[in-house]
C-alpha cells in the first residue's frame, strides 16, 4: 500500500478533501503535527508528501523553531525525489527549499477568487482536463517566486505566482482546493483579524457563503491529484 504523509502546522489547517481522495485511492495516511512537536519519518518511507498551510511565514524561525528542522526534512525529501505537494505555506516552503524567494505579496488575498492557467499550464499534462479558469479559495499574504527550472502553472489577478511544478515531482499551490465548509469556518475563527477592508479580501459573509463552491472545487482537486499521481508514476 502506498503511504501519504502530511505535515500540519496548526490544528485548524488540515488536508481536508485530500484525505478523502487518498482514502479512495488506497493510500495509508500518516501525519507529522509540527505544532505538537512530532518528529519526521524517514523520507524513504513516504510515497507522497503533502505540506499544509499555516498562518506563520517561511522566515518565522525565531517564533517557530521547528521550521528549521522542517526545511531540513524537506530538503532531504526533495533530494530523494519524494513526490511532494505544497499548499499555501507548504508551497512557499517548497519554493524556499528549492532556492526561490518568498516575500510579501502586493495584496493579501482572502476569499473566493478565480485562478487562471498560464500558457505553459494549459499545455502541461498535469493540467489536462482542468478548466483554464476556475474559482478557488485563498488565504495568504505572502507569495513565492517560481523556482529555477520549474514551470509556472497558474496566476490570479491579485497574485501572479499561484502554482508551479518542479521536475514533475514537486507541485506548489498557493490556492486552496482542498477545503470544505468546516475548514473555511476554522480559518475564519482563528484568523478573523485578517479580514479587513482591502481590494482582495472578501467579507466574512462572502467567505462563509455559498456552499456550492466547495463541490465545484472537488472534481478539479481530484483530477489534479490523479494527474500528479500519474505523472510521478505512483500507481500500484
The structure's pTM equals: 0.97
Tens digit of each residue's pLDDT (9 = 90 or more) over 110-166: 999 999 999 999 999 999 999 999 999 999 999 999 999 999 999 999 999 999 999
Q: What is the distance between the alpha carbons of residues 59 and 62, in angstroms, rounded to a whole number?
A: 8
13, 84, 88, 159: the active-site residue:
88
Q: List the chain domain ranges.
A: 3-231
Active site residue 176: yes
pLDDT value at position 107? 97
DSSP 95-154: HHHTT--EEEEEEEEEEEEEEEE-HHHHTSGGGTTS-SEEEEEEEEEEEEPPPTTEEEEE
pLDDT value at position 179? 97
Residue 134 bridge partners (DSSP): 115
CATH architecture under which domain 3-231 falls: 3-Layer(aba) Sandwich (3.40)
Q: What is the distance between the alpha carbons of residues 172 and 153, in angstroms, rounded to a whole number?
A: 9
Active site residue 88: yes
Amino acid at each position: 500500500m502506498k503511504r501519504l504523509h502530511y505535515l500540519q502546522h496548526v490544528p485548524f489547517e488540515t488536508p481536508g478533501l485530500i484525505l478523502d481522495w487518498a482514502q479512495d485511492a488506497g493510500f495509508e495516511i500518516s501525519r507529522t503535527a509540527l505544532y505538537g512537536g512530532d518528529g519526521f519519518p524517514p523520507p524513504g518511507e513516504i510515497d507522497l508528501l503533502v505540506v499544509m498551510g499555516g498562518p506563520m511565514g517561511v522566515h518565522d524561525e525565531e517564533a517557530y523553531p521547528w521550521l528549521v528542522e522542517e526545511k531540513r526534512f524537506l530538503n532531504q525529501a526533495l533530494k530523494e525525489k519524494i513526490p511532494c505537494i505544497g499548499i499555501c505555506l507548504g508551497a512557499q516552503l517548497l519554493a524556499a527549499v528549492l532556492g526561490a524567494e518568498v516575500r510579501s505579496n502586493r495584496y493579501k488575498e482572502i476569499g473566493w477568487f478565480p485562478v487562471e492557467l498560464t500558457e505553459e499550464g494549459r499545455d502541461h499534462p498535469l493540467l489536462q482536463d482542468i478548466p483554464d479558469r476556475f474559482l478557488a479559495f485563498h488565504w495568504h499574504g505572502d507569495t513565492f517566486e517560481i523556482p529555477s527550472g520549474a514551470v509556472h502553472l497558474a496566476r490570479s489577478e491579485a497574485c501572479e505566482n499561484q502554482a508551479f511544478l518542479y521536475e514533475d515531482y514537486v507541485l506548489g499551490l498557493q490556492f486552496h482546493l482542498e477545503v470544505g465548509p468546516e475548514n473555511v469556518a476554522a480559518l475564519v475563527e482563528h484568523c478573523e483579524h485578517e479580514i479587513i477592508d482591502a481590494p482582495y479580501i472578501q467579507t466574512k459573509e462572502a467567505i462563509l457563503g455559498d456552499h456550492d463552491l466547495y463541490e465545484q472545487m472537488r472534481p478539479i482537486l481530484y483530477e489534479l491529484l490523479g494527474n500528479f499521481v500519474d505523472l510521478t508514476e505512483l500507481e500500484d
